């Protein structure tokens, strides 16, 4: 099991006090904190071996290139990919979805359909909207039930021969919902030839993921939500599908040969990685994978599940607090909340005076907020460095904030 008091010592930021109080950080849904292992590994690259990757035959470039490419092997093991060549580095999930939307949809026909859900992050809505307008495609949205879960019957009714892409959140950054990815996959395979994509931004940091077992086609991963640095992410995709896709970005390093009139592409994964890649960030992500692997993702899962049940019980007992959270027995440790008559930003600012960091806003899930007639919520997300005491502090300070603001 994870002993949080010991683990926090690995994270320099937890030595800080905020407004004279110890930092209670509950905003890992927006970004996670970084252990010294990640910080030191990135510092080591800049201090001792920094050189552009894939460009030089000298020692520094060879060392940096080897470290950079080894991260693909770490990620292959981490999500059980078929091959390290299936690991594509991006700037994050947002770039990943833009890459997939633009590369996949250029080969679709007018009237073809894309299925999303009502509770998707903007990163998994806007790129599809843009290509749908460009190629005259249709987007359909799976209903979310009153208990904040996917309506499976509605999803099944949307599937037809025109369905070409299904792209679904793996863990909701608003309600904590964990859809049954394998069940959705079986319905998709039974009724369509659609490409199945999972938004893994919140899922991969908290759950043991096996892409082979899930049967999906692609998953987008955000590095900075899983202890890694910002500016780095991953798209994993089946090799046979990646080989069929054209690159979206052109430039150095993604080519095999260039002529004045034309060019040919490098093999995967490099044909999708134009220009100098974020190699220091990728190496930092590799260190984050090492850290999580040492913890064991099964332990991370167990910690999240137990903490979520404790937090849910505490928060549900607060008068006047409305919680947007799934009623499922399996869910993420994420709670979007509101207080009638008080803006979420005011609650968040009040909590900050107690050293409690939560996010206020629509969390890039504005359409679903609008459906619930909510302008904004404040959100708490627990991670490996949070424990029951953090949620005790959160609960007590929410109660105090409600008294002060109403």
What are the φ/ψ torsions at residue 204 (nearest 5 degrees)? -65, -35
Contact 139, 129 (CB under 8 A): yes
**Segment (H or E) for 140:** strand 138-142
CA dist., res. 83 & res. 236, Å (int): 10
- Dig out the tokens for 322 from the structure: 């409305």
* Upstream peptide bond of 51 is cis (omega within 30 degrees of 0): no
Do 375 and 369 meet the contact criterion of CB atoms below 8 Å apart?
yes
Provide the 10 A C-beta neighbour count for residue 90. 26
How far is residue 258's CA from residue 272's CA, in Å, rounded to a whole number?
Answer: 16
Burial code of 271-282, b = ≥16 C-beta within 10 A, e = fewer? Answer: bbbbeebbbbbb
Catalytic residue among 93, 105, 333, 364: 364
Count of all residues that appear for the chain in the document: 406
DSSP 282-327: HHHHHHHHHHHHHH-HHHHHHHHHHHHHHHHHHHHTSTTEEEE---
User: Are the C-beta atoms of residues 220 and 97 closer than 8 Å to each other?
Assistant: yes
For residue 18, what are the β-bridge partners?
A: 21
**Cβ-proximal residues to 123 (8 Å cutoff; 6+ apart), any chain:** 93, 94, 97, 199, 201, 220, 364
Contact yes or no for 207/201 (Cβ under 8 A): no
Name the helix (H) or strand (E) containing 164.
strand 163-169
Helix (H) or strand (E) segment spanning residue 265: strand 263-265
DSSP string, 15-32: G-EETTEE-EE-BTTT--
For the chain, the maximum distance between any two Cα atoms, rounded to a whole number of angstroms, is 70
Which SS3 state, helix, strand or coil, does residue 199 take?
A: strand
Residue 150 DSSP label: B
d(CA 154, CA 146): 14
Active site residue 364: yes
- Catalytic positions are 364
């Amino acid at each position: 099991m994870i002993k949080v008091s010991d683990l926090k010592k690995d994270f320099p930021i937890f030595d800080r006090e905020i407004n004279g109080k110890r930092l209670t950080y509950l905003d890992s849904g927006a970004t996670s904190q970084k252990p010294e292992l990640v910080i030191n590994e990135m510092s080591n690259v800049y201090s001792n071996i920094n050189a552009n990757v894939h460009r030089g035959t000298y020692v520094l470039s060879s060392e940096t290139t080897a470290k950079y490419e080894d991260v693909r092997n770490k990620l292959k093991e981490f999500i059980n990919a078929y091959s390290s060549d299936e690991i594509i580095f991006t700037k994050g999930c947002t770039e990943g979805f833009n890459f997939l939307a633009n590369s996949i949809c250029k080969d679709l026909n007018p009237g073809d359909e894309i299925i999303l859900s009502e509770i998707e992050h903007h990163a998994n809505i806007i790129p599809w909207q843009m290509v749908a307008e460009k190629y005259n495609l249709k987007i359909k949205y799976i209903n979310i039930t009153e208990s904040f879960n996917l309506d499976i019957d509605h999803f099944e009714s949307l599937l037809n021969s025109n369905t070409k892409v299904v792209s679904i959140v793996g863990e909701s950054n608003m309600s904590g919902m964990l859809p049954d990815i394998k069940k959705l996959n079986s319905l998709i395979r039974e009724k369509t030839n659609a490409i199945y994509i999972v938004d893994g931004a919140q899922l991969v940091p908290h759950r043991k993921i096996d892409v082979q077992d899930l049967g999906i086609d692609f998953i987008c991963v955000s590095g900075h939500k899983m202890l890694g640095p910002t500016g780095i992410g991953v798209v994993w995709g089946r090799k046979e599908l990646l080989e069929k896709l054209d690159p979206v970005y052109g430039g150095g390093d993604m080519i095999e040969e260039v002529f004045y009139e034309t060019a040919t592409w490098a093999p995967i994964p490099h044909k999708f990685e134009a220009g100098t890649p974020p190699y220091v960030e990728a190496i930092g992500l590799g260190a984050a994978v090492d850290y999580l692997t040492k913890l064991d993702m099964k332990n991370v899962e167990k910690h999240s599940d137990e903490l979520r049940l404790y937090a849910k019980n505490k928060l549900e007992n607060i008068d006047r607090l409305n919680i947007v959270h799934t009623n499922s027995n399996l869910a993420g440790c994420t709670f979007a909340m509101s207080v009638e008559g008080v803006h979420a930003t005011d609650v968040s600012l009040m909590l900050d005076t107690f050293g409690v960091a939560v996010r206020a806003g629509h969390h890039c899930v504005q359409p679903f907020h609008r459906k619930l007639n909510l302008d904004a919520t404040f959100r708490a997300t627990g991670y490996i460095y949070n424990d029951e005491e953090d949620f005790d502090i959160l609960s007590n300070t929410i109660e105090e904030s409600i008294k002060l603001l109403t």
